[in-house]
Amino acid sequence: MASIDQGRNNKLGCDRVLHAKAIQGLKLFNEGKFFEAHEELEEAWKVEKGEVRELYRGILQIAVTYLHITRGNYEGALKVYGRSMKWLKNWPDICMGIQVRKLRDTAKLVMNEVERLGKENIGGFNTSLFKPIQWIEKRIWICDRCGSEMVEKNCKVNCSNCGNRFDCSDLNIHFD
């Protein structure tokens, strides 16, 4: 079961590392800087070649949706949210370490509230309903013996090619 999901995720590119611009965008998003977040995610969307670029597009449209809400633009929020779902709906729950399902669930709750308030009362939207996007930054290790990419799990780093292994905490001294 897990291996089937893994295969599908890898095909989509969900095993990839987040683009640096995307990381920047997610950080800005979580600071409530939705315009700036949208700009960084757009950069990531432009330079990314794989299918995962559409995930960046979906997230940037959520940022634009939230921006519209904070500016009291009811129609704009509904329109962009509708568009974003096209790019967000088909991903696994977690892709490139991003909790995509949680983001979709949060955005749905936000939009339910926006629709409940309606055009007249959108100014009363409680922005505490905007929840941060959760993600884990995957680190890439390259084997110093054979040059292969190594897999990290719970701080144990292992080379599947030559069997080289170490504990990631062993390396911290070199980074200081």
Rounded CA separation 121/119 (Å): 6
Stretch that binds Zn ion, among 26-34, 90-98, 103-111, 136-144 (CB under 5 A): 136-144
Rounded CA separation 171/11 (Å): 31
Nearer to Zn ion, 30 or 148 (CB): 148
Nearer to Zn ion, 95 or 157 (CB): 157
Q: Extract long-range pairs of 24-30: CB within 8 Å, 24+ residues apart.
A: 25/56, 25/59, 25/60, 25/63, 26/59, 26/98, 26/133, 26/135, 29/59, 29/62, 29/63, 29/132, 29/133, 30/132, 30/133
Stretch that binds Zn ion, among 5-13, 41-49, 66-74, 159-167 (CB under 5 A): 159-167
β-bridge partners, 135? 98
The single residue among 31, 162, 167, 170 that binds Zn ion, judged by CB under 5 A, is 162
The single residue among 17, 47, 109, 146 that binds Zn ion, judged by CB under 5 A, is 146
Q: Output the smallest distance, CB 80 to Zn ion, in A.
A: 46
Stretch that binds Zn ion, among 82-90, 91-99, 124-132, 163-171 (CB under 5 A): 163-171
Establish if 142 lies at the interface with Zn ion (CB under 5 A): no
The single residue among 145, 151, 156, 167 that binds Zn ion, judged by CB under 5 A, is 145
Establish if 134 lies at the interface with Zn ion (CB under 5 A): no
Q: Residue 39 contacts by C-beta under 8 Å, 6 or more apart in sequence? A: 25
Asked if 164 and 146 touch (Cβ cutoff 8 Å), the reply is yes
Q: Which residues bind Zn ion (CB under 5 A)?
A: 143, 145-146, 148, 159, 161-162, 164
